[in-house]
Amino acid sequence: MKIGLVTDSPADLPLDLAENYGIEVIPAILIIEGQEYIDGVDITREQFYARLPAMRRHPTTAAPSPLDFAARYQKLLANGCEHIISIHTAEKLTSLPNFARNAARDFNGRVTVLESGSLTMGTGFQVLAAAEAIEQGLGLKSVLEKIHSTRQRVRVAAALDTMDYLRRSGRVPAAITTIGGLLSIKPVVELREGAVKPLTAARTTRQATSALLEFLLNLGPLERLAILHTNAEARAREFLDLLLQSKNRRNIPPEIRLLNVTSLIGAHLGPNGLGFAAVKKELI
Amino acid sequence: MMRKSFDGLAVKELVEAGLTWLRTNQQTVNALNVFPVPDGDTGTNMLLTMTSAYNEISNLGHHNAGQMVAAVAQGALMGARGNSGVILSQLWRGFARALHGKEVIDASALAAAFAEARDTAYKGVVRPVEGTILTVSKDIATEAQKAAQETDDPIEVLRRCVRAADESVQRTPEFLPVLKQASVVDSGGKGLFFILEGMLRYLDGESLESPLISVQPLSAMMLENAMEDVEEGQDWEVVVDFRPGKEFELPTFYSRLEQIGTSIQVGEGEGIYRMHIHTPLEKRYEPIDYIMQIGTITKVAMENLLAQMEDIEGRAETSIELANVEPGQIAVVTVSPGSGISRIFASLGVAAIVSGGQTMNPSTKDILDAFENLPTDKIIILPNNKNIILAANQAKEVTVKQVHVVPSRNVPQGLAAMLHLNPDGDLEKVAEKMTKAIDNVVTGEITVATRTVEIDGVNVKEGQVIALLNGKLAVSSDSLEHACLEFLEKANAGKYELVTLFYGEDLKNLEANRIADLVRERYPALEVEVQEGGQPHYQFIISIE
């Protein structure tokens, strides 16, 4: 059975992989100072982060039109797919899964919509696992199991340069953002099931980086890993070096991607943030 | 008449005598402060501990000696302040344990009690240091043992113990080089000696009210302690420097001053005398008039203590929002020396604040009350001062709640620990994480030297600005800005990322920011943050990370 895959641009799936596997990526819409931009088309991530600190109003996102979803599904079916799996960024963070579900109704059960519970490559890795399983010729049930298993093992964490953007976004409980209302604090947070959970807080970039590293290394053997940043490539490379020098480096998969993270998330985290998305190895 | 034993009522009288004599000699003990920084005065801490001990028995009429001593120990435990106060309370605890069930205290019971007191006190300290109150308690116990074999007169045993304590105190500089350097004896040991000597003086029918007249070295006089106890009605502090005339006679001088006021101290250095006294409003010029008759006045300073205290209290009143803790969550109690620092701790999620710090050490009970008032059983305490860690440990022993002491020795360490608080985590694991975080930060404390001394290889003159690096004297300088910059150099600040300056209550925001700008100029790569600390005596507390 030929299975098609659809995801959204905040899943941060690298373009080469999307093309390689024929995955349809629906771009999110960014609203910056009252104007609409298509993520990655009208505005690059570099441009977005460069403008972010000067934005007077906090940027927001809008879901693409349901027609866009329907058009992608139609296209894949027309190309011979018998079933479609549409995997999207956590519904606690966006309305993308809901739009997808609405669009899927018109396809008589041929489109399965999944909500990843995660974001950026935390979603992207679930799509990738699905793509690999499809390529191996697995059936729909097995592919869905692969996605589910990946979803269980995915971990996303970030070390933010400042609490300001998180506070401005209003997306996190006040209990978290009011921490260190007086001192400048660099929070280290985990993003799980669409919710922000504080891991620890640091006062300096180095402290925050090493806390993030410790958390990553404590996850044990990893199947997949991406280092994420919000326009802080130098910081991400430094983190990668630390990782490769650590004594637990054998836990780290051979292929590690460095990604300038989705603007949708970046708007809440602020520039110069560092993070990762990882999938823990399956325990045999 | 020879007394063969002490009953409960006799114990009560003796405790009161020990307390009174300690109070009379409080300033002498306080003056034995080795370090040139304004920190918790040993005499005051021991006195507050003894006062709490006596308050526990002031209304009791037990004839049973064991019961009476047990009550003393309980009072001392609750009132313990500072390291010396805590050790004193441990001594009482051991003393009471040995006397449990005893109707009366005879010579051999007294010796046994001193022995148990020594053992309990030693066990209460993780790393016992010789040349301190512990050594003195050991020498007392040894002498008591010997004496009890030679006489069955408990007074004689006590007399020999007092002598042994005196000699032991004199020997303390042989154990502790810092004492020798500063040419003083150990203050805690001296306090213990005064308590026992007071008991003996009472039995001998000697006065307990007037101190043995003593003149201290000028540098040992603490004159700028705004938090000192103000006796009712004695609102004015008068300090007079003078050159005495030919007729000057110390005992006469003393007794005349006693008619005018309280808290009398006399210091001498290079022919200049300094007189310190507290007087009521209407008598504030009397010491000056009197001293003009007997010598030449070179300097007069006069301060309204009550107004100063109100000022300090007024500043502390701004409200602080503390973390709401649910039952089952972890609550953090912190000791804070200033309102600004309290606010910062609150913003990091502290659930209760005990005021105190360098010069005012909170008692075991103050800390215990904070524990008891929290709606949860899981508590972490940050003492933020090396002189409060013991009292925190003691409060932990007393409460039924689960308490972990994260032994922060200063404010920056406490703040570094707070960043790792997870109220919903496992108490033990969170405490461990917080304890580990203490070492993530380098601490500086900038203050004015209270005495002239050479310590840790640094020469310090009274009145100079000094900087402590992780608790050790590192810099002395004539200006605040130089002290700060030199300190940062010593601390290798260039290697780090962030310097936070917490400025004290004596410093204006503008001045703090001016110095911060100098730091930024010197270290362009460093991030420099300025925060209002509000702590007394310390112009800056600095954290480097």
More confident residue, B211 or A35: A35
Same domain, yes or no: B39 and B156 = yes
Chosen domain end from B168, B191, B211: B211
For residue B252, what is the domain's CATH number?
Answer: 3.30.70.1150
Select A154-280's CATH number: 3.30.565.10, 3.40.50.620, 3.40.50.2000, 3.30.1180.10: 3.30.1180.10
> Contacts of residue B349 in chain A, CB cutoff 8 Å?
179
Q: Are B543 and B511 in contact (CB under 8 A)?
A: no
Four-point Cα dihedral B455, B456, B459, B464, nearest 10: -80
HEC assignment per residue over B303-356: EEHHHHHHHHHHHHCCCCCCCCCCCCCEEEEEEECCHHHHHHHHHCCCCEEEEC
What would the pLDDT profile of B452-482 be if each residue is shown by its tens digit?
888 878 888 888 999 999 989 999 999 999 9
Tell me, yes or no, whether B274 and B342 share the same domain: no
Cα(B196)–Cα(B202) distance, integer angstroms: 10
Q: Which of B402, B417, B440 is the last residue of a domain?
A: B440
Whether the pLDDT of residue B11 is over 90: the answer is: yes
The predicted pLDDT at position B217 comes to 54
d(CA B516, CA B529): 8
Chain B residues whose C-beta sits inside 8 Å of any chain A C-beta:
343-344, 347-349, 415-416, 419-420, 422, 433, 440, 496-498, 500, 527, 529, 531, 545
Position B1 confidence tier, pLDDT thresholds 50, 70, 90 = very low
Is the pLDDT assigned to residue B214 strictly greater than 60?
no
Predicted confidence (pLDDT) per residue in B255-272, tens digit: 888 888 877 777 766 677
Residue A139, pLDDT score: 95
Interchain CB contact of A207 with B (< 8 Å): yes
Report how far apart the first and last C-alpha atoms of chain A are (Å, whole number): 28
Kindly state whether A248 is in contact with chain B, defined as any CB-CB distance less than 8 angstroms: no
Cβ B336 vs Cβ B354: under 8 Å: yes
**Continuous H helices in B31-153:** 42-57, 65-79, 82-98, 107-123, 133-150
Task: Domain of residue B464: give its range.
Answer: 442-544
In Å, how far is B417's CA from the nearest CA of chain A? Answer: 10
Percent of chain B, pLDDT > 70? 91
How far apart CA B281 and CA B289 sit, in angstroms, is 15
Give CA–CA dist B528/B545, Å, rounded: 11
Among the partner-chain residues B349, B422, B498, the one whose CB lies closest to the CB of A204 is B498
Q: Is the pLDDT of residue B315 over 50?
A: no
To probe the interface with B, which of A176, A177, A182 has the most B CB atoms within 10 Å? A182
B500-511 burial, b for 16+ CB within 10 Å, e for fewer?
A: bbbbbbebeeee
- What CATH number is given to the structural domain containing B122? 1.25.40.340
Q: Is the pLDDT of residue A75 over 90?
A: yes
Would the pLDDT of A177 be above 70? no
What's the one-letter identity of residue B460?
Answer: V
Cβ–Cβ of A182/B531 closer than 8 Å?
yes
Considering the domain architecture, whether residues B171 and B117 belong to the same structural domain is answered as yes
Compute how many other C-beta atoms are within 10 angstroms of the C-beta atom of residue B54: 20
pLDDT at position A171 is 57
What is the rounded CA–CA span in Å between residue A144 and residue B425?
Answer: 34
- Same domain? For B341 and B364 the reply is yes
Q: Is the pLDDT confidence value at B145 over 70?
A: yes
Based on the domain organization, do B470 and B408 belong to the same domain?
A: no
Predicted confidence band of residue A47 (pLDDT cuts 50, 70, 90): confident
Domains of chain B: total: 4
For residue A203, give how far its alpha carbon lies from the nearest alpha carbon of chain B (Å). Answer: 8
Contacts of residue B498 in chain A, CB cutoff 8 Å? 203-204
User: Which residue out of B318, B326, B330, B348 would a mutagenesis test of the A interface target, given it has the greatest number of A Cβ atoms within 10 Å?
Assistant: B348
- Say whether B419 and A202 touch across the interface (CB within 8 A): yes
A174 touches B at CB < 8 Å: no
Q: How many CA atoms lie within 13 A of B316 on its CB side?
A: 16
Tell me what pLDDT residue B317 has: 44
- Residue B502 has φ and ψ, to the nearest 5°, of -100, 110
Supply the CATH number for residue B384's domain: 3.40.50.510
Q: Does A173 touch chain B (CB under 8 A)?
A: no
**Burial class, A246, CB count within 10 angstroms (exposed 0-12 / middle 13-18 / buried 19+):** middle
**A179 touches B: beta carbon within 8 Å:** yes
Write the pLDDT tens digit of every residue in B317-344. Answer: 456 778 888 899 999 999 999 889 998 9
Indicate the residue among B276, B310, B344 that finishes a domain. Answer: B310
Contact check, Cβ <8 Å, A180/B422? no
Which residues of chain B are within 8 Å of residue A201 when distances are taken between CB atoms? 419-420
Judge whether residue A192 has pLDDT over 90.
no
- Smallest Cβ–Cβ distance between A183 and the set B420, B422, B531 belongs to B531
Tell me, what's the pLDDT at B39? 66
The minimal CB distance from A179 to the residues B348, B433, B545 is found for B348
**pLDDT score for A161:** 84
Distance from CA of A183 to the nearest CA of B (A): 7
Pick the residue of A206, A207, A209, A212 with the most B CBs within 10 A to test the interface with B by mutation.
A207
Task: Give residue-wise pLDDT tens across range B380-421.
Answer: 999 999 989 999 999 999 999 999 999 999 999 999 999 888
Higher pLDDT, A171 or B240: B240
Rounded mean pLDDT, A2-11: 95
Question: Do B65 and B205 belong together in one domain?
Answer: yes
ipTM: 0.75
B493 has a pLDDT exceeding 60? yes
* Chain A residue with the nearest C-alpha to that of B545: A204
User: pLDDT > 90: what percent of chain B?
Assistant: 58
Tell me which residues of chain A, numbers 43 to 62, contact chain B at a CB-CB cutoff of 8 Å.
Answer: none
Mean pLDDT of chain A: 89
Enumerate residues 6+ apart whose C-beta is below 8 A from A91: A97, A98, A115, A194
Half-sphere exposure (Cβ direction) of A51: Cα atoms closer than 13 Å: 16
- First-to-final CA distance of chain B: 68
- Residue bearing the bigger pLDDT, B263 or B363: B363
* Separation in Å, CA of B387 to nearest CA in chain A: 26
CA-based nearest distance B509→chain A, Å: 15
User: B518 or B210: which carries more pLDDT confidence?
Assistant: B518
Residues of chain A with pLDDT > 90, as a percent, come to 56
Check residue B316 and give its pLDDT: 45
DSSP secondary structure string, chain A? Answer: --EEEEEEGGG---HHHHHHHT-EEEPPEEEETTEEEEBTTTB-HHHHHHHGGG-SS--EEEPPPHHHHHHHHHHHHHTT-SEEEEEES-TTT-SHHHHHHHHHGGGTT-EEEEE-SS-THHHHHHHHHHHHHHHTT--HHHHHHHHHHHHHHEEEEEE-S-SHHHHHHT-S-HHHHTTTSSS--EEEEEEETTEEEEEEEESSHHHHHHHHHHHHHTT-SEEEEEEEESS-HHHHHHHHHHHHHSTTGGGS-S-EEEEE--HHHHHHH-TT-EEEEEEEPPP-
Chain A hits for B422, CB-CB cut-off 8 Å, are: 198, 200
3-state SS track over B439-483: HHCEEEEEEECCCCEEECCEEECCCCEEEEECCEEEEEECCHHHH
Residue B404 or residue B284, greater confidence: B404
Q: A203 and B498: CB-CB below 8 Å?
A: yes
Where residue A183 falls among pLDDT bands split at 50, 70, 90?
confident
Assess contact for A277 and A156: CB atoms under 8 A. yes
Average of per-residue pLDDT values in chain B? 87
* B97 pLDDT higher than 90: yes
Per-residue pLDDT at B67: 95
Alpha helices in B124-226 (DSSP H): 133-150, 154-175, 177-181, 187-203
**pLDDT number for residue A217:** 93
In whole angstroms, what is the distance from residue A180 CA to residue B343 CA?
Answer: 10
Are residues B423 and A200 in contact, defined by beta-carbon separation less than 8 angstroms?
Answer: no
pLDDT: is B103 or A250 the higher one? B103
How much is the average pLDDT of A233-247?
Answer: 93
Contacts of B527 in chain A (CB under 8 A): 184, 204
**Whole-model pTM?**
0.74
Predicted pLDDT of residue B207: 83
CB contact under 8 A, A183 and B415: yes
* CATH number of domain containing B448: 3.30.1180
Q: Which residues contact A102 (CB under 8 A, 6 or more apart)?
A: A66, A69
Chain B touched by A197 (CB under 8 Å): no
Chain B positions touching A207 (Cβ under 8 A) are 440, 545
* Whether A201 and B440 lie within 8 Å, measured CB to CB: no
> For residue B324, how many other CB atoms are within 10 A of its CB?
12
Is the domain of B436 the same as that of B453? no
**Nearest by CB: A204 against B343, B420, B497:** B497
B507 to chain A nearest CA, in Å? 19
CATH number of A3-152: 3.40.50.10170
- Gyration radius (Cα) of chain A, Å: 19
Instruction: Phi first, then psi: give them for residue B332, nearest 5 degrees.
Output: -110, 130
What distance in Å separates residue A184's CA from the closest CA in chain B? 8
Q: Is residue B496 a contact partner of residue B508, using CB atoms and an 8 Å limit? A: no
Q: What is the pLDDT of residue B238?
A: 84
Is B306 found in the same domain as B192? no
- Parse chain A into domains and list their residue ranges: 3-152, 154-280
- Of B343, B440, B529, nearest to A184 by CB-CB distance is B529
Q: d(Cα B493, Cα B67) in Å, to the nearest integer? A: 57
Q: Which residues of chain B does A184 touch, with a Cβ-Cβ cutoff of 8 Å? A: 527, 529
A204 touches chain B (CB under 8 A): yes
Are the Cβ atoms of A183 and B349 closer than 8 angstroms? Answer: no
Side chain identity, residue A127: V
DSSP 8-state assignment for residue B106: E
Residue B528's nearest CA partner among B507, B504, B497 is B497
Whether residues B161 and B300 fall in one domain: no
Could you tell me if B206 and B244 lie in one domain? no
